[in-house]
Structure 1
Amino acid sequence: MNTQERPGAADEGREEQEGPRPLWVEEPAVRWRLPDPVRTSAVRAVIIVALTLTQAMIAFLSTLAGSWLAFPMVLSTVASTVAATWGVLDVWITRQVWNQRMGVVSVPSSTARQLRRERRGARRAARKDERIRSRGPRGHRGSGRLSEA
């Protein structure tokens, strides 16, 4: 039986030549990665919130069971709720501060981008002036003649 008669036979031959297919294919990220300080505070907030929810569940179940652990757990859950609120606000504030300091604005006509453009142009002009000054008054080092004759 030749390979044209069997369905998928051409694919088998190609797969043998190329080798095994990779398990996954890297694709570009749709969104940018969070900046390090924001990611750190987000991880901290997630851990605090998870612990707070666990404490709340333990407090609730120990209250239903009538355990002596119910009262201390309720008190610690209230304190943890305050800490979890602080953690979530910390993520928000850290993100806002990072955006403000780094000038990351998603609007193309933003003032931050315009300021960067102006500073870049000023640096280019300064470098160009420095190059012109270093060349001397005529703009080049030689006398302009190819030979001394």
Structure 2
Amino acid sequence: MRAVLIIAVTLIQAMVALLCTLAGSWLAFPMVISSVVSTIAATWAVLDVWVTRQVWNQRHGVVSTPSSTARALRRERRQARRAQRAAGRERARIRRRGGAGQLSHP
């Protein structure tokens, strides 16, 4: 958002500088100088946004795999989690019954 505002102000300054130059106003030179400075600031702001997005993508691991591959990996992880939960429930059930190998209740 900040970069968009800086770019908008830079474009307005460039237009005012052009109009002042065409009109032969004394304000033309200061406006051209401020437009150059604003252009540098706008370039910096856009680069800042771009670098920030790149760093965020790199740190948070955006995977560039096709969706079908990602879907298959999610399915495999989900099945592994379900199997792990089922095994945990089975162990808890056996533990409640008094251990493995018991054929009948006392």
- The TM-score normalised by the length of structure 2 is 0.63
- Residue 103 of structure 1 is matched in structure 2 by 62
Higher mean displacement: 87-96 or 51-60: 87-96
Which structure has more helix as a fraction of its residues? 2
Amino acid of the residue matched to residue 50 of structure 1? A
RMSD of aligned residue pairs (Cα, Å): 3.4
Distance 1:97 1:120, change over 3 A: farther
Amino acid of the residue matched to residue 72 of structure 1? P
Kindly indicate whether structure 1 or structure 2 has the higher relative contact order, using CA contacts under 8 Å at least 6 residues apart: 2
TM superposition shift of 1:114: 5.6
Identity %: 63
| 1:60 match: secondary structure | helix
Which of 42, 46, 54 is the matching residue for 2:4? 46
Moved over 6 A (4+): 142-145
Distance 1:108 1:69, change over 3 A: same
Structure 1 gaps of 5+ residues are: 1-42
Which of 28, 42, 47 is the matching residue for 1:89? 47
- How many positions carry a matched residue from both structures? 101
TM superposition shift of 1:79: 1.6
Distance 1:73 1:144, change over 3 A: farther
Structure 2 gaps of 5+ residues are: none
